[in-house]
């Protein structure tokens, strides 16, 4: 299987970096073809320009500014997001990736005023993330990243596709044991692909 790993964390020594390494190493160890997209290392520009917004619905020209990233998504059978949750949202670089790459006729289609998914090539979508806050606080605030992945993005992939959301909450008070257990859980879930 060809897996696109979208990684968004600026610190190489972070727990997020350890999660990223575990995901990539597990995938490669199981014989998958990995397209490891480290958004910070690649210098991805998350800013949707005025020109891009004006041409947003101009298919197929809308993909030109991010054609290489669109092609990577279209080649993938699975996508795994590895990221922290900051201020109850995605890091700006990852949010900008979605804004610039998940375009009309790339991640969704509009026909007769109805929207449907266009990423039918994606059969597995997984999010591996960490939160500073605990689960209750995230729940009270609506947990937007969880909803975006499990509801909105779920509707952009293959109708028979699987979605898995793996989150370690309460990183602000996390212990070595909790982090190790989460890392083991992530490794086991990725190994099941």
Residue 80 pLDDT greater than 90, yes or no: yes
Over range 155-159, report the average pLDDT: 95
Average pLDDT, integer, range 77-86 = 98
**pLDDT tens digit string along 89-147?**
999 999 999 999 999 999 999 999 899 999 999 999 999 999 999 999 989 999 999 99
Q: According to the model, what pLDDT value does residue 113 have?
A: 87
Q: What is the pLDDT of residues 30-50, one digit of tens each?
A: 999 999 999 999 999 999 999
Contact of 182 with 22, CB cutoff 8 Å: no
User: Which residues have CB under 8 Å from 79's CB, separation 6+?
Assistant: 3, 4, 5, 6, 73, 122, 124, 125, 126, 157
**Averaged pLDDT of the chain:** 96
Structural domains in the chain (count): 1
Note down the domain range covering 6.
2-191
- Determine how many CB atoms are found less than 10 A away from the CB of residue 156: 20
d(CA 36, CA 23): 10
Do the Cβ atoms of 22 and 190 come closer than 8 Å? yes
pLDDT at 69: 98
Q: Over the stretch 168-180, which tens digit does the pLDDT of each residue have?
A: 999 999 999 999 9
* Token pair of 125 as six digits: 């979508």
Which of 20-29, 71-80, 129-138 has the least mean pLDDT? 129-138
pLDDT tops 90 at residue 85: yes
Which CATH number covers residue 185?
3.40.50.360
Q: Provide mean pLDDT across the span 52-81.
A: 97
Long-range contacts of 19-26 (CB under 8 A, 24+ apart): 19/82, 19/128, 19/130, 19/183, 19/186, 20/82, 22/183, 22/186, 22/187, 22/190, 23/80, 23/82, 23/128, 23/186, 23/190, 26/187, 26/190, 26/191
Write down the pLDDT at residue 7.
98
The pLDDT of residue 89: 95
């Amino acid at each position: 299987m060809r897996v696109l790993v979208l990684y968004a964390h600026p610190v190489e020594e972070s727990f997020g970096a350890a999660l990223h390494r575990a995901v990539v190493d597990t995938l490669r160890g199981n014989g998958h073809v990995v397209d490891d997209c480290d958004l910070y290392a690649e210098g991805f520009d998350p800013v949707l320009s005025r020109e891009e917004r004006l041409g947003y619905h101009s298919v197929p020209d809308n993909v030109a500014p991010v054609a290489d990233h669109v092609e990577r998504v279209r080649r993938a059978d699975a996508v795994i997001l590895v990221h922290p949750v900051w201020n109850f949202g995605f890091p700006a670089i990852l949010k900008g990736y979605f804004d610039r790459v998940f375009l009309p006729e790339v991640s969704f289609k509009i026909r007769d005023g109805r929207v449907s998914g266009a990423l039918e090539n994606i059969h597995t979508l997984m999010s591996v993330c960490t939160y500073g806050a605990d689960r209750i606080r995230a729940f009270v605030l609506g947990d937007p990243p969880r909803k975006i992945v499990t509801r909105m993005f779920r509707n952009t992939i293959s109708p028979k596709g699987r979605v898995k959301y793996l989150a370690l909450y309460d990183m602000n008070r996390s212990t070595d044991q909790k982090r190790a257990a989460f890392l083991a859980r992530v490794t086991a879930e990725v190994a099941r692909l």
